[in-house]
Structure 1
Amino acid sequence: MIQTFISIGSNIEREFHLRAAIAELKKLGSDFRLSQVFEAEPVGFQGPNFYNCVAAFDTHLPLDQLQRQLKQLELDYGRAPDAKKNQSRTLDLDILLYGDVQQSVSPVLPRTDLYKFAFALWPMVELAPELAIPGDTRTIRQLEQALQFEQALWPVEFVVEESHESL
């Protein structure tokens, strides 16, 4: 089993799509944990605010198969196959970390979003603050302390319907 961290985001029917993504991701592994949900302004374009969080779980899926599953979930929930990066989306699922894998081909790991966006890093601080970033001498917490973000981001009350747990 390999521990993976998946960034989840949506700014179209965002509550529905986050709940759907959480339910689907729970099927891909065990020891599922979820950060709190944050509301974030879009980066690089004008549009509705996003809901973002990070899921952590252990999976037996090889990296390429996990990546294919995530892309298929995005398509299944209405994301256009030719969707551009800086636009509104129903569902955005990105592998932030996959064990200690480091690679510069798709999916790039660790995902550079950890170094660029609070919506990726802040939930990671909550889930795994002392985790060493593969290929970096810093932990998640040390990275968060070293970086400054201009993106507006704040926690929101979010209830996952299946278990009625509040995030």
Structure 2
Amino acid sequence: MADVFLSLGSNTARYRHLTIALDSLTELFGPLKLSRVYESESVGFRGSLFLNMAVGFSTDMPLSELAVQMRAIELNNGRQLDALKFSPRTLDIDILSYGELCGYHAGIELPREEILYNAFVLLPLSELAPNHRHPLDGRSYQELWRAYASDQKLWPVSFLWQGRDLSAT
């Protein structure tokens, strides 16, 4: 079994798409570990505010199949494969880490470089798995967040899912 951490984001019909993603992930993997949901400004382009969060679970699904499943969830939610890298997203699901794998596996960079550079990835991940260590850096996600220096702004928002208030997670 591999511990998997994902980053979820949306700035188009944000609440609906995150809800569908969480429902789909629960159907595939059972109970999920969830961070709070954060709202943040777009990074790299001018666009509406994003909702972001981190999700964790354990699975024996091979990484290549996990990638296929995540892409299917995105596509089923209107994700455009030909969209610019920095553009609005109905749903963005990024595999941040898969066990202790490092390097490129199944066409995926692990751990995902964004962990170290984007507040909307690192803060939810540090909240979800504070003592989990970055496979390359060696510091815990909580230590990485404490050392993080950037002007990226994000703030927790209310988000109800399956009767649970994720702002209180």
If the TM-score is normalised by the length of the shorter chain, which range does it land in? over 0.9
Instruction: Give, in whole Å, the separation in 1 of the partners of 2:32 and 2:108.
Output: 21
Alignment partner of 1:58 is 2:58 = yes
Equivalent in the alignment of 1:113: 114
Equivalent in the alignment of 2:165: 166
Q: Normalization by structure 1: what TM-score?
A: 0.95
Q: Normalization by structure 2: what TM-score?
A: 0.94
Shift of 1:104: 3.3
Equivalent in the alignment of 1:151: 152
Tell me, yes or no, if the aligned pair for 1:30 and 1:59 is still in contact at 8 Å. Answer: no
Query: For this pair of structures, how many residues does the alignment match?
Result: 165
Shift of 1:68: 0.9
Report the residue type matching 2:135 in the other structure. P
Equivalent in the alignment of 1:7: 7
Shift of 1:149: 2.0
Alignment partner of 1:79 is 2:79 = yes
The aligned runs of 1:112-151 (5 Å cut-off) are 112-151=113-152
Shift of 1:164: 0.5
Equivalent in the alignment of 2:43: 43
SS at match of 1:149: coil
More divergent stretch after superposition (17-26 vs 100-109): 100-109
Provide the alpha-carbon RMSD of the alignment. Answer: 1.1
SS at match of 1:28: helix
Shift of 1:45: 0.2
Which stretches in structure 1 are left out of the alignment for 5+ residues? none
Report the residue type matching 2:90 in the other structure. T
Which stretches in structure 2 are left out of the alignment for 5+ residues? none
SS at match of 1:104: strand
